[in-house]
Chain A
Amino acid sequence: MKSRFLSNTLAEFIKTKRSFALWLTLLAAAFIPAINAVILLERPEMLLAKFEQTPWLTFLRFNWKNVAAVILPMYIILITNLVVQIEFRNNTWKQVYASPRSFADIFFSKLLVVQALVPFYILCFDVFVIISGLLVHWINPAYHLTAAGIDWENLMLISSRIYLGCLAVSIIQYWLSLRFRNFVVPLGLGLGLWISGIILMDWDKSIYYPYVYSAFMFFIDFDKEPEKLVTLVLSSVAAIIASLGIAYYDTSRLPEKG
């Protein structure tokens, strides 16, 4: 049973071969570090002072601030849509559901593909940030972004917190992508929910709104408000469990499969 699930999950990865998934991941991951490298090199007179104390931490935050709030939610909305649309576009859902696989096998094997691509994106982004920092230092050593000084601890901490914050969104988007054949619907709903989150960020109840968790994980200063970290971690975990349960139940009860 377990080996068949693994085999079917590998089959799901084969399906993404030659699709835009890998390119989207690499391009989205390289976008911000590339732009920020140009900004740092073009505006040293404005930025050098900010990088004097903690160059790598400042550089990490400089890159992550755009990604946590904008690029990562956008990437999740696009990649889940792309992975699920492979079946809709090729009219293959019916063949998948007519094979001797349980619904749980089908549901979770594809979800695992999404759940592998999102951390892969974060990993690629971190790698590109480091390459970008080292490149900036190589061209302008005044930034002090040396290989020896890379702040691995903060890099891991920021990355893992933001990943936890975005997990529920990736499951909700997966559910929406399974639910609607027309790719515009989950795309539009995802963008709408994300924009609503940006608007509602100052609202005191926004802690219950999963689309802002990754941004909160970055922007809240947990050294000053440590209790918010606990609340946010608990909210994120609760949102993951709830969205997974709802997505699984609702999709399994769809009247038509394929």
Chain B
Amino acid sequence: MKQAVIETDHLSYCFQEGERVLDDINLQVPQGSIYGFLGPNGAGKTTTLRLLLGLLRSENSAIRLFGHQLQTNRIEIMTRTGSLIEQPSLYLHLTGQENLEVFRRAYACAQSRVAHVLRLTGLDEAAHKKVKAYSLGMKQRLSIAVALLHDPELLIMDEPTNGLDPNGIIEIRELIRDLNENQGKTVLVSSHLLTEVEKVATHVGIIHHGKLLFQGTLPELQSLQHRHSVLEIQVDNITRAEQILAGRFSVFAADGFNIRVGHSGPEDAALINHMLVGSGIRVSRLGVVGNDLEKLFLQIISA
């Protein structure tokens, strides 16, 4: 596994005494990854991200970014980190260019970066318009431009596609992929939609009720998904099919013509089909039920 850019060590957090909103979170975001941080609303995603950015006061030293403790190296870490937390944080009475100028001074980066990030996010023509006249998608892109101003190695984005239309969602997704693949940036992106994350993430963390329920690569999540899936097979002789498969697989009858068989991947599906056909059973339909990631996500968070 590549070196972790973000690590949390048994991270817990309470807003009020006895009300634990994060419980024993061990986050590992590998360098060069797009880490999809998933969870339903109120799961603790934003709280985790705010802790990673030092926006919540925490006495524990469980957070490390780039191998350094956040508590003692915040300024150095923030020079290497770009962020977008929840809805756009922009000065609506200023133009896009003025917004970038304000943050350019905070990040102490070259003047040329303003034009560069405006071009990168496709906002060069709207640079002199007041931000209050921007659409939500434009505001979101300007927020990303702010996050990219100082050419950070790490981007932390909290629900960047929230409230966007399908076109806007695709644009942001493409931008995240481009930043990761062509510029080598590590991206931590939170979302409550698995379908959104699975299109772009290389790694996934699932959080619910303040606990990290799953963490791993996308293929690992997909493998877990297969273990939870069932094949539904339409055969001409249910009793005989059950006898053939019973020794190796868990089999149960679904209705008059269908049996359901537990399996753990495409290889198992091929073997089951081979065993049935080889024994003279006529297989007229074979399909996977209940295996989409969305259902798995719901299973994980409701377990």
Report A's interface with B, CB cutoff 8 A.
Answer: 4, 7-8, 10-11, 14-15, 17-19, 86, 90-102, 253-258
Contacts and interface: CB of A to CB of B under 8 A. Distances in A.
A99 B147 CA distance: 9
Contact of A100 (B85, B94, B106, B130): B106
A11 B106 contact: yes
Nearest to A89: B92
10 contacts: A7-B105, A8-B106, A14-B102, A94-B85, A96-B106, A98-B78, A100-B107, A102-B75, A254-B57, A256-B55
Contact of A19 (B79, B93, B107): B93
B103 A95 contact: yes
Nearest to A18: B93
Contacts of A98: 53-55, 78, 81, 83, 85
B25 interface: no
Nearest to B75: A100
A257 B55 contact: yes
A253 B58 CA distance: 11
Contacts of A86: 91
Interface in B62-108: 74-76, 78-79, 81, 83, 85-94, 98, 101-103, 105-108
**Which of A14, A86, A99, A257 has the most chain B CB atoms closer than 10 A to its own CB?**
A99
A17 B94 contact: yes
Contacts of B79: 100
Contacts of B15: 255
Nearest to A14: B102
B254 interface: no
Contacts of A100: 74-76, 78-79, 106-108
Query: Size range of the interface on B?
Result: 20 to 34
Contacts of B94: 14-15, 17-18
A4 B108 contact: yes
A253 B54 contact: no
A4 B146 CA distance: 18
Contacts of B55: 94, 97-98, 256-258
A189 to B, nearest CB: 24
Given A255-B56, A258-B89, 13 more contacts: A8-B106, A11-B101, A11-B102, A11-B105, A14-B94, A18-B93, A18-B130, A91-B89, A94-B86, A97-B55, A98-B85, A100-B75, A255-B57
Interface of B: 15, 50, 53-57, 74-76, 78-79, 81, 83, 85-94, 98, 101-103, 105-108, 130, 146
A4 B104 CA distance: 11
A253 B57 CA distance: 8
B132 to A, nearest CB: 10
Nearest to A258: B55
A95 B83 contact: yes
Contacts of A17: 93-94, 98
A229 B106 CA distance: 42
A84 B131 CA distance: 19
Contacts of B146: 95
B75 A101 contact: yes
A7 B110 CA distance: 13
Contacts of A14: 94, 98, 101-102
A99 B91 contact: no
B13 to A, nearest CB: 10
Given A15-B94, A254-B57, A256-B56, A101 B106 contact: yes
B105 A91 contact: no
Nearest to A91: B89
B107 to A, nearest CB: 6
Given A7-B105, A8-B106, A99 B78 contact: yes
B303 to A, nearest CB: 32
Nearest to B57: A255
Contacts of A90: 89-92
B105 A97 contact: no
A90 B131 CA distance: 11
A193 to B, nearest CB: 28
Nearest to B78: A100
